[in-house]
Structure 1
């Protein structure tokens, strides 16, 4: 996870790089962070920009589970987990659970779109978190941070750091916390 604490800022000022301290591990490693189940607790107010450029409040997703991933293209652990989030989105397509990667990149869509093309991301929309508003609302300590939201619009879990989201254990946790615990019989 890329942290925004004092220590991280001092490392950058001293000439360090964000990726230098990351451990080397296989691309499909399990989570570095641990999924913490929380709540259920109310969500803070926030809005994202959807793939069509429309501002969407959290109420827009009522009745659907949401895997909200706060990330940026300049964040090495975020980049590492993005293919797994893309596969997770495909696995959840019939479950009524949305995977929403909310980019805090200052370049917005113009920065994220070429990243998706270059890395082969096909199942995720380009969602933006202008000014890192969602990141601040959730009091995220760094990137990536993933919030699991149930169908009633409540936070149920959080994972700070990169994860193999398409792994069996995390997939089961997502379905249990964001959905009804079972695969839907009809697309939502």
Structure 2
């Protein structure tokens, strides 16, 4: 309990001291979210789609910090972390922040719909990168993969593998990412 109190205090202090879009990677790792520093460069603007074929780009979210997550219906760790991502979007999604979950590769629409219904995912959009063009631009080689993007459209941090996105650590990360 004392360890959690110390960790939460450190994360909160880091959130208050951080510049806009900066994330305390050491505190995140201490809290169990194994983030690595991003390259700080503008992210790809390769299009991805929705189930109706509508084209979208990350630049559509300019001015908003993003947690971009690549996943697949066949990926067990992806499926396990999706409810936590849904909870994070419910808690923080809005004018300053969004969780974008993009199904990379072959993911049959019926399988996605079935999974969303079973997992009660009601806050996450269904987005597709069927040809994995956007995932390739980010160098994604394994799923799940998460990229944190600041409001200016630059990569702040990234992580390969699942995380507890509904944890206090994740909440502190989003607070830091969206700090004015």
**TM-score relative to the length of structure 1:** 0.73
For structure 2, the residue ranges without an aligned partner over 5 or more in a row are 1-30
The structural deviation recorded for 1:36 is: 1.4
Count of aligned residue pairs for this structure pair? 150
Residue-by-residue CA offset, 1:39-75 (whole Å, 9 max, x unaligned): 4222133221136531112211111111110000100
* Range that drifts further, 64-73 or 47-56: 47-56
- Contact between 2:35 and 2:157, CA under 8 Å: does it hold in 1? yes
Structure 2 counterparts to residues 64-83 of structure 1, below 5 A: 64-83=64-83
* Residue matched to 2:102: 102
**TM-score relative to the length of structure 2:** 0.76
The structural deviation recorded for 1:97 is: 0.7
Distance 1:96 1:51 in 2: 25
Larger proportion of helix: 2
Distance 2:175 2:41 in 1: 18
* Residue matched to 1:135: 135
* Residue matched to 2:56: 56
* Residue matched to 1:171: 171
Larger proportion of strand: 1
Q: Secondary structure of the equivalent of 2:40?
A: strand
